[in-house]
Amino acid sequence: MILFYFNRFKRNKLAMAGLALIAVLFVMAIGARLLAPHDPIRQHLVDRLHAPATRFPLGTDDLGRDVLSRMIYGIRISLTVGLVAVGIAVGIGTILGLISGYFGGWADTFVMRIVDIMLCFPTFFLILLVIAFLEPNIYNVMIVIGITSWPGLTRLVRAEVLSIREREFVQAARLLGLSDARIFFIHLLPNVISPIIVSATLGVGDAILTESGLSFLGLGVQPPTPSWGQMLTAGKEYIYFAWWLSLFPGLAILLSVLAFNLLGEGLRDIFDPRLGDNI
């Protein structure tokens, strides 16, 4: 079965490109100490606003720090925030979706009303509201993004469980006296894991974009820790004569979000049998 899905995935060139780019990002994040040519927070004022050249391939910022080194270390921040935030959202959304779809009744009503309330507010502004009362750092950013990103996944899991809970194998498990917890993790979860994986993959890109937006506004990762959004903020004052300060971080955000979206779309296609003839 795994080989079957992998063969289908290989035929999707865009998804393979996204996977390859994500693999490059992970390698660069892991090997940042070896790949970065300079210390990302060390200042060289004599070399401030140095245009891209041999010594500084992507130039330097207003404090003389190497842009390439800061971008490489910024990958760690983006991937960490994306993966941890999505992990929190997947954990909350999956559990609530299973409970809501399986039990129904008052549990379903209670969970869905909370979801409706959460969806009434634009996610980014809800994050801004919460983060404004907390200390802006990477830990709070990850937690806030995670706890505000689960409603969509909850609705997705609930819909899948509603279509599965009345099937024969679930009914047989109930008749055999299996506990609800065993039915959840043995019969329901394996059958809804595919849309969860797809949603999580797409969610990483959204989390990276959200973190960059918060850092751009000064509410995310704080200096001197390198962050792509923070680098965009620093570069906007010099955009007319130091274009590299905004161009390269912007491209990094674009390509990383695009890579996760392409991978997510590719996974959705291979898990959906109705799309089998189009791959």
The enclosing domain of 136 has a CATH number of: 1.10.3720.10
C-alpha distances (whole Å) from 48 to each of 119, 144, 277 are 45, 35, 55
Closest CA to 242 of 100, 30, 18, 47: 47
Does residue 201 lie in a domain region?
yes
Does residue 269 lie in a domain region?
yes
pLDDT of residue 274: 54
pLDDT of residue 200: 93
C-alpha distances (whole Å) from 222 to each of 20, 125, 180 are 30, 20, 45
Alpha-carbon dihedral 112, 115, 117, 122, rounded to 10 degrees? -150
Does residue 49 lie in a domain region?
no
pLDDT of residue 109: 93
**The domain containing residue 113 runs over which residues?**
2-39+55-278
Does residue 265 lie in a domain region?
yes
Does residue 251 lie in a domain region?
yes
How many beta carbons lie within 10 A of that of residue 237, not counting itself? Answer: 11
* d(C-alpha 249, C-alpha 67), whole Å: 9
* d(C-alpha 64, C-alpha 86), whole Å: 35
Ramachandran category for residue 56: left, alpha or beta (phi over 0 → left; psi -120 to 50 → alpha): beta
How many beta carbons lie within 10 A of that of residue 59, not counting itself? Answer: 20
Does residue 50 lie in a domain region?
no
List the pLDDT tens digit at each of the 279 positions of the chain: 567 667 777 888 898 999 999 999 999 999 999 999 999 998 888 889 989 988 899 999 989 999 999 999 999 999 999 999 999 999 999 999 999 998 888 999 999 999 998 888 887 888 888 877 877 788 888 999 999 899 999 999 999 898 888 888 888 888 888 888 888 888 888 888 888 999 999 999 999 999 998 888 888 888 888 899 989 988 888 888 899 999 999 999 999 999 999 999 888 888 765 554 444
pLDDT of residue 181: 83
φ, ψ for residue 44, nearest 5 deg: -125, 80
pLDDT of residue 8: 76
> What is the count of structural domains for the chain?
1
pLDDT of residue 186: 85
Q: What is the pTM of this model?
A: 0.88
Does residue 46 lie in a domain region?
no
Does residue 48 lie in a domain region?
no
